[in-house]
Amino acid sequence: MTNPQPILNDMNDRTREVFRRVVEGYLTSGEPVGSRTLTRSLSEKVSAATVRNVMQDLEYLGLLDSPHVSAGRVPTQAGLRMFVDSLLEVGTVAPEDQEKIDATLGTGDEESKAWPPTVRWLSWSSPTGRSRTACSCHLQARPRPPCARRRIS
């Protein structure tokens, strides 16, 4: 999906809202989003059957998929791309959050500044992931597999 604008222009407000709510719900929970769940949060009061019809239309467009018959819907890769390119609303970072980011990533000692960016990111992300999730976090860089191509003279 190179240009999501034609699809967006064909969507009415209800379809856009259902699509946005499905993607946001999926990104929040990681689980399929059902029509009954959506009817509770939509601005327009509609039945679960109406939401299912809209979700079916979005599935036909290739923006949503259903893991199995009785599940809700999840966004496809194309749907996620369209959401990021067209519907995602990104605000500015609060100054105190920006200071924390800068302090975490940008002001290490001189030795760590000399490390490659990947090593700096890995050294930062493990404790950050642990503190954000309250779970242990382990990141490991995998070695590159040997190249399968051979030069033929």
pLDDT digits (tens, 9 = 90+) for 54-76: 999 999 999 999 888 778 899 99
Better-scored residue on pLDDT, 17 or 134: 17
Residue 149 placed within a domain: no
3-class DSSP state of 141: coil
Better-scored residue on pLDDT, 138 or 103: 103
The rounded percent of the chain whose pLDDT value lies above 90 is 20
Residue 126 placed within a domain: yes
The pLDDT tens digits of the residues spanning 6-59 come to 676 678 888 889 999 999 999 888 899 999 989 988 888 899 999 999 999 999
Number of domains within the chain: 2
pTM of the model: 0.57
Nearest to 24, CA basis, from 38, 36, 11: 38
Domain encompassing residue 122 = 95-133
Residue 152 placed within a domain: no
Better-scored residue on pLDDT, 138 or 16: 16
Q: What is the largest CA-CA distance in the chain?
A: 70
C-alpha 73/C-alpha 64 separation (Å) is 6
Residue 19 placed within a domain: yes
